[in-house]
Amino acid sequence: MQPGRNIAMKVPAAEFAATVAFYEATLGFRVVSREASSVRFDHGGGHFLWIDRVEGLAKAEVWLEIHTTDLQASEEKLKEAGIRRCDDVEALPEGMKAFWIKNPAGVVHLVTEE
């Protein structure tokens, strides 16, 4: 397993616009794509920072991505280490070869097969 290209920041709805403005106007990050509830910024080196608007969220969370060439072997390795899937955190697109986990501190990670 290795680090992925995406970092997702889940932001309370009331703070979404100000957070996007911070990265776009204050820091000058280049917007790659923009939707009503998600903005993707170039984070350098082929990496992307996603700012996602989430209703009912009390504070911002950072979610990370991990890539693997063998999803099933990675799941077994994680399971042996006591790390369980937590696919209920967010629905994945139909057919996507991926699953969700949390590290011991509760940080969400998306494990995806390249």
**Strand (E) positions, the chain?**
2-12, 31-35, 38-44, 47-54, 61-68, 98-102, 108-113
Copy the structure tokens of residue 37.
Answer: 């509830």
Q: What are the structural domain ranges in the chain?
A: 2-113
What is residue 9's predicted lDDT score, i.e. its pLDDT? 97
pLDDT at position 78, please? 96
User: What pLDDT score was predicted for residue 105?
Assistant: 86
Contact residues for 7 (Cβ-Cβ < 8 A; gap 6+)? 43, 47, 48, 49, 50, 62, 63, 64, 65
Answer yes or no: are the C-beta atoms of 77 and 85 closer than 8 Å. Answer: no
Q: CB–CB of 113/97 below 8 Å?
A: yes
Per run of 10 residues, the mean pLDDT along the chain (length 114 residues) is 95 97 96 98 96 96 96 96 95 96 93 92
**pTM more than 0.85:** yes
Which CATH code, of 3.40.50.1400, 3.10.180.10, 3.40.47.10, 2.70.70.10, is assigned to 2-113? Answer: 3.10.180.10
